[in-house]
Amino acid sequence: MDQKSPLNNIAYQFVQELAADLSGDNLELPGFPDTVLELHRALGDINQSVKDIVMIINSEPALAARLIRLANSAAFNTTQAEVCDPRTAITQLGFNVVRSTATEFAMRQLEQQEWLQPVRPQLATIKAESNGVAAICAGISKNLDGMRADEALAAGLFHQIGNLYLLMQGHKNNLVTDNPDWEDVAGEWHPTIARAIIESWGMPETVAVAVEHQNVLIETEDDSTALLTKLLGAAKLYHQLNVGGVEDPQKIEKILATTVLIERPFIDLVTIYRDDIDLVRQTMVA
Protein backbone atom coordinates (compact mmCIF):
# COMPACT_ATOMS: atom_id res chain seq x y z
CA MET A 1 0.00 0.00 0.00
CA ASP A 2 1.27 3.47 -0.87
CA GLN A 3 2.45 5.55 2.07
CA LYS A 4 0.18 8.54 2.53
CA SER A 5 1.58 11.96 3.40
CA PRO A 6 0.50 13.53 6.73
CA LEU A 7 -1.73 16.00 4.87
CA ASN A 8 -3.22 13.18 2.84
CA ASN A 9 -3.99 11.25 6.03
CA ILE A 10 -5.72 14.28 7.53
CA ALA A 11 -7.78 14.85 4.38
CA TYR A 12 -8.63 11.15 4.08
CA GLN A 13 -9.89 11.00 7.65
CA PHE A 14 -11.86 14.21 7.18
CA VAL A 15 -13.59 12.89 4.06
CA GLN A 16 -14.36 9.54 5.72
CA GLU A 17 -16.03 11.37 8.60
CA LEU A 18 -18.05 13.51 6.17
CA ALA A 19 -19.23 10.40 4.36
CA ALA A 20 -20.21 8.69 7.60
CA ASP A 21 -22.18 11.69 8.86
CA LEU A 22 -23.91 12.59 5.61
CA SER A 23 -27.70 12.45 5.77
CA GLY A 24 -30.72 14.44 4.72
CA ASP A 25 -31.03 15.99 8.17
CA ASN A 26 -27.49 17.31 8.57
CA LEU A 27 -26.47 17.82 4.95
CA GLU A 28 -24.69 21.14 4.67
CA LEU A 29 -23.47 22.58 1.39
CA PRO A 30 -21.59 25.71 2.49
CA GLY A 31 -22.45 28.65 0.28
CA PHE A 32 -25.48 27.01 -1.35
CA PRO A 33 -28.54 29.30 -1.32
CA ASP A 34 -31.00 28.22 1.36
CA THR A 35 -33.78 28.30 -1.23
CA VAL A 36 -32.06 25.66 -3.34
CA LEU A 37 -31.48 23.32 -0.39
CA GLU A 38 -35.08 23.80 0.73
CA LEU A 39 -36.26 23.09 -2.82
CA HIS A 40 -34.27 19.85 -3.02
CA ARG A 41 -35.75 18.65 0.26
CA ALA A 42 -39.27 19.58 -0.84
CA LEU A 43 -38.94 17.83 -4.20
CA GLY A 44 -37.96 14.63 -2.37
CA ASP A 45 -40.84 14.82 0.12
CA ILE A 46 -44.00 13.05 -1.08
CA ASN A 47 -46.02 15.12 1.38
CA GLN A 48 -45.11 18.38 -0.34
CA SER A 49 -47.57 19.70 -2.92
CA VAL A 50 -46.75 21.47 -6.17
CA LYS A 51 -48.15 24.61 -4.53
CA ASP A 52 -45.54 24.31 -1.76
CA ILE A 53 -42.76 23.87 -4.32
CA VAL A 54 -43.95 26.87 -6.33
CA MET A 55 -43.87 28.99 -3.16
CA ILE A 56 -40.25 28.02 -2.55
CA ILE A 57 -39.28 28.83 -6.13
CA ASN A 58 -41.10 32.17 -6.04
CA SER A 59 -39.03 33.16 -3.00
CA GLU A 60 -36.03 33.31 -5.35
CA PRO A 61 -37.21 35.40 -8.33
CA ALA A 62 -34.01 34.82 -10.34
CA LEU A 63 -34.49 31.05 -10.09
CA ALA A 64 -38.18 31.34 -11.02
CA ALA A 65 -37.27 33.40 -14.06
CA ARG A 66 -34.60 30.88 -15.11
CA LEU A 67 -37.06 27.97 -14.90
CA ILE A 68 -39.59 29.85 -17.04
CA ARG A 69 -36.89 30.72 -19.57
CA LEU A 70 -35.74 27.09 -19.68
CA ALA A 71 -39.31 25.84 -20.15
CA ASN A 72 -39.65 28.16 -23.14
CA SER A 73 -36.34 27.17 -24.72
CA ALA A 74 -36.11 25.11 -27.90
CA ALA A 75 -34.34 22.35 -25.98
CA PHE A 76 -37.17 21.80 -23.49
CA ASN A 77 -40.39 23.23 -24.97
CA THR A 78 -41.88 20.44 -27.05
CA THR A 79 -45.40 21.91 -27.20
CA GLN A 80 -44.46 25.37 -28.52
CA ALA A 81 -46.93 26.83 -26.01
CA GLU A 82 -45.57 29.81 -24.10
CA VAL A 83 -44.84 29.20 -20.41
CA CYS A 84 -45.46 32.24 -18.22
CA ASP A 85 -45.36 31.00 -14.61
CA PRO A 86 -43.30 28.65 -12.39
CA ARG A 87 -46.15 26.16 -11.87
CA THR A 88 -46.48 25.53 -15.60
CA ALA A 89 -42.69 25.41 -15.92
CA ILE A 90 -42.47 22.73 -13.23
CA THR A 91 -45.20 20.67 -14.90
CA GLN A 92 -43.52 20.90 -18.28
CA LEU A 93 -39.93 20.34 -17.15
CA GLY A 94 -40.50 17.71 -14.45
CA PHE A 95 -38.88 17.50 -11.03
CA ASN A 96 -35.51 16.16 -12.27
CA VAL A 97 -34.97 19.12 -14.60
CA VAL A 98 -36.12 21.52 -11.88
CA ARG A 99 -33.55 19.97 -9.55
CA SER A 100 -30.85 20.25 -12.18
CA THR A 101 -31.71 23.87 -12.94
CA ALA A 102 -31.74 24.82 -9.25
CA THR A 103 -28.32 23.24 -8.71
CA GLU A 104 -26.84 24.94 -11.78
CA PHE A 105 -28.31 28.21 -10.47
CA ALA A 106 -26.64 27.59 -7.09
CA MET A 107 -23.28 26.96 -8.74
CA ARG A 108 -23.54 30.34 -10.44
CA GLN A 109 -24.09 31.93 -7.04
CA LEU A 110 -21.04 30.18 -5.62
CA GLU A 111 -18.83 31.82 -8.25
CA GLN A 112 -19.67 35.22 -6.77
CA GLN A 113 -18.85 34.41 -3.14
CA GLU A 114 -15.63 36.00 -1.95
CA TRP A 115 -14.71 33.28 0.57
CA LEU A 116 -14.50 30.80 -2.31
CA GLN A 117 -12.12 32.97 -4.35
CA PRO A 118 -9.09 30.69 -3.70
CA VAL A 119 -10.90 27.68 -5.19
CA ARG A 120 -12.68 29.40 -8.09
CA PRO A 121 -10.57 27.51 -10.67
CA GLN A 122 -11.77 24.20 -9.17
CA LEU A 123 -15.36 25.49 -9.08
CA ALA A 124 -15.10 26.47 -12.74
CA THR A 125 -13.79 23.00 -13.65
CA ILE A 126 -16.62 21.28 -11.76
CA LYS A 127 -19.24 23.51 -13.39
CA ALA A 128 -17.82 23.02 -16.88
CA GLU A 129 -17.68 19.24 -16.54
CA SER A 130 -21.15 19.07 -14.99
CA ASN A 131 -22.71 21.12 -17.80
CA GLY A 132 -20.71 19.43 -20.56
CA VAL A 133 -21.50 15.89 -19.45
CA ALA A 134 -25.15 16.76 -18.75
CA ALA A 135 -25.55 18.11 -22.29
CA ILE A 136 -24.11 14.94 -23.82
CA CYS A 137 -26.31 12.71 -21.66
CA ALA A 138 -29.49 14.69 -22.35
CA GLY A 139 -28.83 15.23 -26.04
CA ILE A 140 -28.29 11.53 -26.69
CA SER A 141 -30.91 10.11 -24.31
CA LYS A 142 -33.80 12.12 -25.77
CA ASN A 143 -33.26 10.18 -29.00
CA LEU A 144 -33.04 6.68 -27.50
CA ASP A 145 -35.96 4.45 -26.61
CA GLY A 146 -35.98 3.30 -23.00
CA MET A 147 -34.11 6.32 -21.63
CA ARG A 148 -35.50 9.31 -19.79
CA ALA A 149 -33.85 12.54 -20.87
CA ASP A 150 -34.63 14.25 -17.55
CA GLU A 151 -32.86 11.51 -15.59
CA ALA A 152 -29.92 11.58 -17.99
CA LEU A 153 -29.64 15.35 -17.58
CA ALA A 154 -29.75 14.99 -13.80
CA ALA A 155 -27.13 12.23 -13.79
CA GLY A 156 -24.80 14.38 -15.87
CA LEU A 157 -25.26 17.49 -13.78
CA PHE A 158 -25.13 15.72 -10.40
CA HIS A 159 -22.18 13.43 -11.12
CA GLN A 160 -19.89 16.17 -9.73
CA ILE A 161 -22.06 17.15 -6.74
CA GLY A 162 -19.87 15.04 -4.44
CA ASN A 163 -16.77 16.84 -5.69
CA LEU A 164 -18.49 20.18 -5.15
CA TYR A 165 -19.51 19.21 -1.63
CA LEU A 166 -16.01 18.02 -0.75
CA LEU A 167 -14.38 21.11 -2.25
CA MET A 168 -16.52 23.50 -0.22
CA GLN A 169 -16.20 21.50 3.00
CA GLY A 170 -12.48 21.00 2.49
CA HIS A 171 -11.87 24.66 1.74
CA LYS A 172 -13.96 25.67 4.74
CA ASN A 173 -11.66 23.51 6.90
CA ASN A 174 -8.42 24.65 5.20
CA LEU A 175 -7.66 21.27 3.66
CA VAL A 176 -7.66 22.17 -0.05
CA THR A 177 -5.25 24.99 -0.86
CA ASP A 178 -2.24 23.61 1.03
CA ASN A 179 -2.78 19.93 0.32
CA PRO A 180 -1.37 18.64 -3.00
CA ASP A 181 -3.04 15.28 -2.35
CA TRP A 182 -6.56 16.67 -1.98
CA GLU A 183 -7.59 15.87 -5.55
CA ASP A 184 -6.64 12.21 -5.11
CA VAL A 185 -8.67 11.93 -1.91
CA ALA A 186 -11.67 13.72 -3.40
CA GLY A 187 -11.39 11.67 -6.60
CA GLU A 188 -11.67 8.45 -4.64
CA TRP A 189 -14.60 9.51 -2.49
CA HIS A 190 -16.75 11.92 -4.48
CA PRO A 191 -18.94 9.33 -6.30
CA THR A 192 -19.91 7.78 -2.94
CA ILE A 193 -20.58 11.21 -1.45
CA ALA A 194 -22.63 12.15 -4.52
CA ARG A 195 -24.87 9.12 -4.14
CA ALA A 196 -25.47 9.94 -0.47
CA ILE A 197 -26.51 13.49 -1.39
CA ILE A 198 -28.75 12.31 -4.22
CA GLU A 199 -30.45 9.76 -1.97
CA SER A 200 -30.89 12.31 0.83
CA TRP A 201 -32.75 14.52 -1.65
CA GLY A 202 -35.06 11.68 -2.70
CA MET A 203 -33.90 11.55 -6.31
CA PRO A 204 -34.48 8.47 -8.54
CA GLU A 205 -32.46 5.34 -7.76
CA THR A 206 -31.35 5.10 -11.38
CA VAL A 207 -29.63 8.48 -11.08
CA ALA A 208 -28.03 7.55 -7.75
CA VAL A 209 -26.65 4.30 -9.19
CA ALA A 210 -25.32 5.97 -12.33
CA VAL A 211 -23.55 8.70 -10.36
CA GLU A 212 -22.02 6.27 -7.87
CA HIS A 213 -20.66 4.10 -10.70
CA GLN A 214 -19.67 6.91 -13.04
CA ASN A 215 -16.19 5.41 -13.49
CA VAL A 216 -17.48 1.98 -14.43
CA LEU A 217 -16.01 1.99 -17.95
CA ILE A 218 -12.53 2.51 -16.52
CA GLU A 219 -12.92 0.01 -13.70
CA THR A 220 -14.69 -2.93 -15.37
CA GLU A 221 -16.01 -4.39 -18.61
CA ASP A 222 -19.23 -5.75 -17.08
CA ASP A 223 -21.89 -6.05 -19.80
CA SER A 224 -24.65 -5.90 -17.17
CA THR A 225 -24.01 -2.21 -16.49
CA ALA A 226 -27.26 -0.21 -16.49
CA LEU A 227 -27.84 1.88 -19.59
CA LEU A 228 -27.87 5.25 -17.80
CA THR A 229 -24.70 4.34 -15.91
CA LYS A 230 -22.98 3.42 -19.16
CA LEU A 231 -24.12 6.63 -20.85
CA LEU A 232 -22.89 8.76 -17.96
CA GLY A 233 -19.55 6.94 -17.86
CA ALA A 234 -19.01 7.37 -21.59
CA ALA A 235 -20.11 11.02 -21.58
CA LYS A 236 -17.71 11.79 -18.74
CA LEU A 237 -14.77 10.17 -20.52
CA TYR A 238 -15.66 11.87 -23.81
CA HIS A 239 -15.82 15.28 -22.16
CA GLN A 240 -12.53 14.78 -20.31
CA LEU A 241 -10.84 13.53 -23.49
CA ASN A 242 -11.91 16.66 -25.35
CA VAL A 243 -10.72 19.07 -22.66
CA GLY A 244 -7.47 17.23 -22.06
CA GLY A 245 -8.37 15.78 -18.68
CA VAL A 246 -7.12 12.18 -19.07
CA GLU A 247 -3.68 10.66 -18.50
CA ASP A 248 -3.93 7.98 -21.21
CA PRO A 249 -5.92 9.32 -24.21
CA GLN A 250 -5.39 6.19 -26.28
CA LYS A 251 -6.91 4.02 -23.57
CA ILE A 252 -9.94 6.30 -23.32
CA GLU A 253 -10.38 6.39 -27.09
CA LYS A 254 -10.36 2.58 -27.12
CA ILE A 255 -12.97 2.40 -24.34
CA LEU A 256 -15.24 4.89 -26.10
CA ALA A 257 -14.84 3.10 -29.44
CA THR A 258 -16.14 -0.13 -27.92
CA THR A 259 -18.94 1.34 -25.77
CA VAL A 260 -22.36 0.48 -27.20
CA LEU A 261 -25.76 1.87 -26.16
CA ILE A 262 -28.80 -0.05 -27.41
CA GLU A 263 -26.77 -1.65 -30.19
CA ARG A 264 -25.36 1.69 -31.34
CA PRO A 265 -21.76 2.84 -30.73
CA PHE A 266 -21.53 5.77 -28.32
CA ILE A 267 -19.17 7.65 -30.64
CA ASP A 268 -21.68 7.39 -33.48
CA LEU A 269 -24.45 8.71 -31.24
CA VAL A 270 -22.38 11.75 -30.29
CA THR A 271 -21.88 12.53 -33.98
CA ILE A 272 -25.49 11.89 -35.01
CA TYR A 273 -27.01 13.94 -32.20
CA ARG A 274 -24.40 16.70 -32.05
CA ASP A 275 -27.02 19.38 -32.72
CA ASP A 276 -29.18 18.18 -29.82
CA ILE A 277 -26.16 18.10 -27.51
CA ASP A 278 -25.12 21.61 -28.52
CA LEU A 279 -28.67 22.91 -28.07
CA VAL A 280 -28.86 21.60 -24.50
CA ARG A 281 -25.40 22.98 -23.72
CA GLN A 282 -26.24 26.43 -25.08
CA THR A 283 -29.49 26.49 -23.12
CA MET A 284 -27.75 25.61 -19.88
CA VAL A 285 -25.09 28.29 -20.14
CA ALA A 286 -27.40 31.04 -21.39
CATH of domain 6-31+113-285: 1.10.3210.10
- Looking at the DSSP bridge assignments, the partners of residue 264 are 261
Residue percentage of the chain with pLDDT more than 70: 95
Q: Does residue 9 or residue 104 have the better pLDDT?
A: 104
The answer to whether the CB of 97 falls within 8 A of the CB of 70 is: yes
The answer to whether the CB of 141 falls within 8 A of the CB of 147 is: yes
Task: Please report, as a single letter, which amino acid is at residue 207.
Answer: V
The answer to whether the CB of 102 falls within 8 A of the CB of 56 is: no
Q: Report which of 96, 87, 27 is spatially closest to residue 58, judged by C-alpha positions.
A: 87
Residue 232 pLDDT: 97
Domain regions of the chain by residue span: 6-31+113-285
Per-residue pLDDT averaged across 28-57, rounded? Answer: 91
Whether the per-residue pLDDT at 160 is higher than 80: the answer is yes
For the whole model, what pTM was predicted? Answer: 0.92
Residue 271 pLDDT: 96
